[in-house]
Amino acid sequence: MLELHDLCKVYRTTNVETTALRDINLHIGKGEFIAIMGPSGCGKSTLLNVLGMLDTPSSGHYQFQDQTVSGRSEGDLASLRKARVGFIFQSFNLIDELTVRENVELPLLYQKIPASQRKDRVEQVMDRVAIAHRADHRPQQLSGGQQQRVAVARAVVTQPALILADEPTGNLDTVNGEEVLGLLNELNGDGTTVVMVTHDPAHAEHATRVVNMLDGRILSENIHRGPSDSEANHVS
């Protein structure tokens, strides 16, 4: 599903050059649940941003569902993101002025989905993540766990092929964190590919494969359980 070959990302200012990703070679098959681990500053979030087409590589090759990403216009990348990628962030990134229902519906508005279809999809996904009873509340009226449920609902309402989760349990207590991981496991069980950045080895146990990074490089990959539709590659 995702193929990265010799991918590098370099940030340049007038006086400083910082290499965030170095020679990344990675295959992620359809239906896998990947956990990316490593110390702060090792390139985890940069890799996630490149996978989600929020950032572009400086060199190398990135292929998403048989489509070459490198060299495409920002308009093309935005269309691809909106249709096929869902994002879940540590800080939830909900819009305070909107209700739960409106936050979940927002990605469908960007896709110009008809109102009747939007209503059905929003209701279904809110029921799925057990947040429908808070549909008319605003984010500041919710607990952290409830806000992250809304963020999960917003990420999956477009029925994306790929979910990217950046420390999705980082602001949650143990119980709520496990509930969010359970939701990710359910979505993965339904065939959605999930890539999650985490610092927590226990949370990484939910993944089919763990990718360990250091200094912008992939050090190793470890299979925890069999990927659903693909074989995992190993980095020695």
Write out pLDDT tens, residues 42-79.
999 999 999 999 999 999 999 999 889 888 888 899 98
Write out pLDDT tens, residues 3-39.
999 999 999 988 899 999 999 999 999 999 999 999 9
Neighbouring CB atoms inside 10 A of 150's CB total 25
Does residue 82 have a pLDDT over 80?
Answer: yes
At which residue do the structure tokens 């990135």 appear?
A: 62
| C-alpha count within 13 angstroms, C-beta hemisphere, residue 33 | 23
| CA-angle at 73, arms to 72 and 75, nearest 5° | 125
CA dist., res. 197 & res. 211, Å (int):
9
Q: What percent of the chain is predicted at pLDDT more than 90?
A: 78
Write out pLDDT tens, residues 119-166.
999 999 999 999 999 999 999 999 999 999 999 999 999 999 999 999
